[in-house]
């Protein structure tokens, strides 16, 4: 049990990072399709959809890599948390407006993931992010000289 | 503590700037064409970059329906189709068309046929997606009926059940 407790933070951090790297690579492979997925939310204008499709996957990739490598975890995890919140707001807006769209979160143009499923999944990712941030702040506290 | 937070914010900004630069450089051709308002991805063999199917309204669709000028295609699932569809329409769920995008129809349909695609109304994008697939498959005249089955049914126009 103690062993599990010791390794859990690193496991969750690596897993979360790996999920974001995977999601990013799928989008980088097909930016046009991802731009279509972004446009389907009907939130951003034409060019902004393409700009988001060009930039967002690279932010996801950077954060994912930082988490997996365990380097600058706080910054990476905070950014992942912010992205997750933005995704959840966009999905919520899609649900409220009754848009029948694919979330476009992972594989583009594959099997459809409804906004509700995606929202639930993002909530899990968000919880993982909070856990990673908490673990990170505990770790830095432990290594600081104020520790009893 | 405050210094700590400032450091983290600077870190986040740095991550965003580096990633954004990488993303913009990586997709520079796509972004340039999108900025010029060209249909994206034309230069590559990417699936987009096509002409989009033209949207049509209820009255125009009804006229074409009455004149039997077009083949009407239902992009919804076969279950939805069985529950009710525009009379005389063919079922071609988007998922099935995606499996065989080169020749999506089971029946033979000449490439010069006028095709109207519909699904579940304005919030549904399956008809537009199916329309794009059909245009890629070589059908030149593809329209999307954006009001879809709900609008047609509510207007009291001919519907049929079953036959999926």
- Burial of B120-152, coded b for 16+ CB within 10 Å and e otherwise, reads bbebbbbbbbbbbbbbebebebbbbbbbbbbbb
How close A110 comes to chain B (CA, Å)? Answer: 9
pLDDT band with cut points at 50, 70 and 90 for residue B44: very low
CB atoms within 10 A of CB B55: 15
* d(C-alpha A75, C-alpha A70), whole Å: 11
Residues of A in contact with B36 (CB under 8 A): none
Whether pTM exceeds 0.80: no
* pLDDT over 60 at A147, yes or no: no
The pLDDT value recorded for residue A25 is: 96
Which of B19, B123, B126 is best to mutate for the A interface (most A CBs within 10 A)? B19
Distance to chain B for A1, nearest Cα, Å? 33
Minimal Cα–Cα distance from A95 to chain B, Å? 11
Q: Is residue B31 less than 8 Å (CB to CB) from chain A? A: yes
User: pLDDT per residue over B51-96, tens digit each?
Assistant: 688 888 888 888 889 988 899 999 999 999 999 999 999 999 998 8
Model pLDDT, residue B45: 36
pLDDT bucket at A144, cuts 50 / 70 / 90 = low
Residue B118 backbone zone (phi > 0: left; psi -120 to 50: alpha; other: beta) = beta
The helix/strand count (H/E) of chain A reads as: 5, 0
Distance from CA of A130 to the nearest CA of B (A): 16
Q: How does strand B54-56 pair with strand B114-118?
A: unpaired
pLDDT category at B102 given cuts 50, 70, 90 is confident
The ipTM estimated for the assembled molecules is: 0.88
Residues of chain A contacting residue B49, judged by C-beta atoms under 8 Å apart? 32
Residues in chain B: 164
Residue B46 above 60 pLDDT? no
Interface test with B, best of A62, A143, A146 (most B CBs within 10 A): A62
What is the rounded CA–CA span in Å between residue A103 and residue A88? 10
What's the confidence (pLDDT) of residue A110? 63
A 24-83 residues inside an 8 A Cβ radius of B: 28, 30-33, 35-36, 40, 46-47, 50-51, 53-59, 61-63, 66, 72, 74-76, 78-79
CB pairs under 8 A between A and B: 92
**What pLDDT band is residue B1 in, cutting at 50, 70 and 90?**
low
Report which secondary-structure segment, H or E, holds B90. strand B90-91
Could you say which of A54, A79, A99 has the minimum Cβ distance to residue B23? Answer: A54
């Amino acid at each position: 049990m103690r062993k599990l407790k010791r390794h859990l933070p690193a496991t969750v951090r690596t897993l979360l990072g790996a999920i974001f790297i995977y999601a990013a690579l799928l989008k980088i492979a097909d930016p046009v399709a991802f731009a279509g997925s972004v446009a389907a939310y009907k939130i951003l204008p034409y060019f902004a959809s393409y700009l988001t499709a060009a930039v967002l996957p690279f932010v996801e990739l950077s954060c994912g890599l930082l988490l997996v490598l365990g380097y600058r975890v706080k910054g990476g995890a905070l950014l992942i948390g912010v992205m997750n919140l933005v995704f959840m707001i966009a999905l919520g807006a899609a649900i409220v407006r009754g848009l029948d769209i694919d979330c476009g979160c992972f594989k583009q143009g594959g099997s459809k993931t409804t906004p509700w499923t995606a929202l639930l999944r993002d909530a899990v990712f968000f919880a993982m992010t909070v856990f990673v941030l908490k673990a990170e702040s505990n770790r830095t506290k432990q290594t600081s000289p104020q520790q009893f | 503590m405050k210094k700590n937070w400032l450091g983290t914010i600077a870190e986040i900004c740095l991550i965003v700037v580096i990633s954004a630069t990488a993303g913009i450089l990586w997709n520079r051709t796509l972004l340039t064409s999108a900025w010029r308002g060209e249909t994206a991805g034309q230069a590559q063999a990417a699936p987009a970059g096509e002409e989009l199917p033209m949207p049509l309204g209820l009255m125009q669709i009804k006229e074409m329906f009455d004149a039997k000028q077009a083949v009407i295609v239902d992009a919804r699932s076969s279950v939805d189709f069985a529950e009710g569809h525009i009379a005389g329409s063919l079922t071609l769920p988007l998922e099935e068309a995606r499996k065989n995008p080169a020749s999506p129809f089971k029946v033979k349909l000449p490439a010069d046929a006028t095709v109207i695609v519909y699904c579940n109304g304005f919030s549904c994008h399956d008809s537009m997606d199916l329309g794009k697939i059909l245009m890629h498959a070589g059908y030149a005249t593809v329209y999307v009926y954006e009001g879809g089955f709900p609008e047609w049914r509510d207007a009291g126009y001919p519907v049929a059940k079953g036959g999926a």
